[in-house]
Amino acid sequence: MKLCFPTSQQIKKLPEHIIYQVAPDTYKMASTKTGKYEGMMIARPEFVEESGIYPKMKNFWAYYVVGLHAKEKCKGVGKRFDKFLKNLAKNDERCQGRIWLRAFNNMEPTGRASSTWWYARGYRGCDKAAQSDLERVMRGQKPKYGDWYRDMDMYLPIKK
C-alpha cells in the first residue's frame, strides 16, 4: 500500500473567520483560530412593494438587513458581514444585488451614527434631504436640515 501525502500547493489555508447560517435569516461569525463567537447578522430577501427604497423602483426583491452586531467594534466583523451579504444578494436571481436597511442612528453606544458606517460601505440614503445632510456632516460641515442623525432608510446602489 502506497501512502500519498498532499503537497504544500494542494493544502489550502483555512480562513481566519467563518460565517455560518444558524436560522433561515440569521448568520453568525466565529474565529477559526480561537473558535470564539465574533458577531451576528440578520438579513433576508424580501419583496418590496413600496416605492422610495430604490430610486424609481417598485415591486422588487431585495435583501433587508434587520440587524448587524459585532461583539467587538472596529475589528472588521461588520466589513466581513457586509462583503458576505453583497455576495449573497449578487448571487440571488431575485435580488440582483439589491440590499436595503434602516440605519438606527440613536442606538450606537459609541455616539457615532450607524448611517456614517453604512455610507462608507457604499450605501446611500433613500431620502434626499437626509442624504444631503449626511454628506455635509461627513465633510465636516454643519447639517442643513437639522437632525441629520435621525434614523434613515438606506440602499446599496446597483452597479451595472
Residue-wise pLDDT tens digits, 147-157: 667 788 999 99
pLDDT (0 to 100) of residue 1: 58
pTM of the model: 0.84
Q: Which residue has the cell 463567537?
A: 37
Residues of the chain with pLDDT under 50: none
pLDDT (0 to 100) of residue 11: 66
Burial 89-115 (b: 16+ CB within 10 A, else e): beeeeebebbbbbbbebeebeeeebbb
pLDDT (0 to 100) of residue 65: 96
pLDDT (0 to 100) of residue 20: 94
CA dihedral 87, 88, 91, 95 (to 10 degrees): -120
pLDDT (0 to 100) of residue 14: 79
pLDDT (0 to 100) of residue 133: 83
Using alpha carbons, select from 78, 47, 57 the residue that is nearest to residue 157: 57
> How far does Cα 50 stand from its chain's mean position?
21
